Structure 1
Amino acid sequence: MPVAAFMSSANQPIKVDIWSDIACPWCYIGKRKFEAGSGLFAGAGEGRGVEIEYHSFELSPDTPVDFEGNEAAFLASHKGIPEAQAQQMIDRVTEIAASVGLAYDYDNLKHTNTVLAHEAIHFAKAHGKQLEMTERLLSAYFLEARHVGKVDELAALGAEIGLDPVALTAALESHEFLDAVRRDQQTAVEYGIQGVPFFVIDGKYGVSGAQEAQSFARVLEQVWSVRDTADEEVSA
């Protein structure tokens, strides 16, 4: 058997790097659609699998921790549009979120700066719970009106998924993982990522936006097929 056969990537999970922001409504919608799409892909068998890693992206880094005003007011100011138009955009995204089982609570949502939330996700990653923390923070922000810009709230949310709240508090107060957040952001710049969610598949293929589940499944299947063909050529 050729040595290359031992190094085959055909049965290795497809690595998917996702740039995302906790305050991005399309990121949560995209997460649900990607999960459905990767489920369709994995369900086709033959060892198909996906390994996910999240990366930090701040849509609005100048947002204060305690923003005064509702989401429509923020969006209108941020995009330079009338508040009525901003509310229409919110209503539309709320409908789309509902179609994937997410009940966005924009009436009570607490808009905030998300850099600490990203630091908390990196802390969780260091403790093997990045995926759980990402889901917990998105749910807390969009569905439960929790304040994800404050250390004590982030520590409490981390404790809910099994993280040490004392250690998480210390990490957030010292900004232990801020450099990791900045490295993610710099990589996004190098990739030319200007909006999220953004998916980098197998380190080669970029997919932008909250695509439909079937679209994600097709992309993963195409990457799997290309990878399989390349392995056959190498081992021949």
Structure 2
Amino acid sequence: MKIEIWSDVMCPFCYIGKKNFEQALENLAFKDEVKIEWKSFQLDPTLDQSKTKTTAEYFREKKGFPEEQAKQMTNQVIQMGKASGIDFNFEKALITNTFTAHKLLHLAKKHHKASEMEEELFKAHFLDGKNVGDVETLVSLAVSLGIDADEAKNSLESDQFDYEINQDILEARNKGITGVPFFILNGKYGVSGAQPSEVFKNALTQTYEETVVPFKDQSQNNLSCDADGCSI
């Protein structure tokens, strides 16, 4: 069963959604039959890749929120994060353009480590206050997951994964996805937002029972032909 997840590194709800989704999946008997594909999405592609802002600066400049209002909003997210096992540190978080970070995600896909890289990117941004637009920072994350430093640096400084990132973004637009996280379950159901684990568990179970189990039942009849002949 395939699960596609559109996400952006600087989205706190994407991190919460990831944790809740993983908690739900861990408790399902068919978890080993689930394949996760992380997709790129940019909440603010207009940000300068060479600069960073604090969370307060970003809210003030982009949304027009005074610092006190921004702090109230981040405090609410901090409480939500704690319930999912995340200790957000918005005081340290550096807002920047995430396109280069998405390049690292696609490189990690190539090495079958996308979920691990997504976690490292969230930690770097929300917990450690690292600049996820900085090539050297991203290379160090790649190395921490066993990816060669030179390969990572070359990928991040080239247009190697630009097409894939833009295709993910275009696909989201074509599907009417305007916010993240967004989960598509085996091509049938969509789940939007950082839903509680129980919601993910129910949605995953329903999708599995409707899109996987019927085909399993049919295959048990074994009335089929292949290159070696027909089975009756």
**Same fold, TM-score > 0.5, yes or no:** yes
Where does 1:131-146 land on structure 2 (aligned, <5 Å)?
131-146=115-130
Where does 1:150-165 land on structure 2 (aligned, <5 Å)?
150-165=134-149
Identity among equivalent positions (%) equals: 37
How far apart are residue 25 of structure 1 and its match? 0.3
Alignment correspondent of 2:87: 103
Contact 1:67 1:110 in 2 (8 A): no
- Displaced runs of 4 or more, over 4 A: 66-69, 230-236
**Residue among 3, 7, 22 paired with 1:20:** 7
How far apart are residue 85 of structure 1 and its match? 1.6
Contact 1:171 1:177 in 2 (8 A): yes
Alignment correspondent of 1:29: 16
Contact 1:158 1:164 in 2 (8 A): yes
C-alpha distance in 1, partners of 2:16/2:160? 30
Matched residue pairs, number? 220
2:205 is the alignment partner of 1:221: yes
2:169 is the alignment partner of 1:185: yes
**Unaligned 5+ runs, structure 1:** 1-13
C-alpha distance in 1, partners of 2:151/2:218? 49
2:185 is the alignment partner of 1:201: yes
Contact 2:14 2:181 in 1 (8 A): yes
Alignment correspondent of 2:156: 172
Contact 1:66 1:111 in 2 (8 A): no
C-alpha distance in 1, partners of 2:86/2:135? 25
How far apart are residue 48 of structure 1 and its match? 6.1
2:110 is the alignment partner of 1:126: yes
**Unaligned 5+ runs, structure 2:** 222-232
How far apart are residue 61 of structure 1 and its match? 0.8
TM superposition score normalised by structure 2 = 0.88
C-alpha distance in 1, partners of 2:204/2:32? 9
| The 10-residue stretch of structure 1 (185-194 or 81-90) with the greater mean CA deviation from structure 2 | 81-90
- Aligned-residue Cα RMSD (Å) equals 1.9
C-alpha spacing 1:234/1:94, structure 2 compared with 1 (3 Å): same
Contact 1:18 1:200 in 2 (8 A): yes
C-alpha distance in 1, partners of 2:70/2:137? 28
1:89-127 superposed Cα distances (whole Å, 9 cap, x missing partner): 111101111111111111111111100000111011112
C-alpha spacing 1:124/1:68, structure 2 compared with 1 (3 Å): closer
C-alpha distance in 1, partners of 2:61/2:155? 33
TM superposition score normalised by structure 1 = 0.87
How far apart are residue 79 of structure 1 and its match? 2.5
Give 3-state SS (helix, strand or coil) of 1:41's partner: coil
C-alpha spacing 1:68/1:182, structure 2 compared with 1 (3 Å): closer
Contact 2:6 2:183 in 1 (8 A): yes
1:143-191 superposed Cα distances (whole Å, 9 cap, x missing partner): 1111110111101111011001111101111121111100000000011
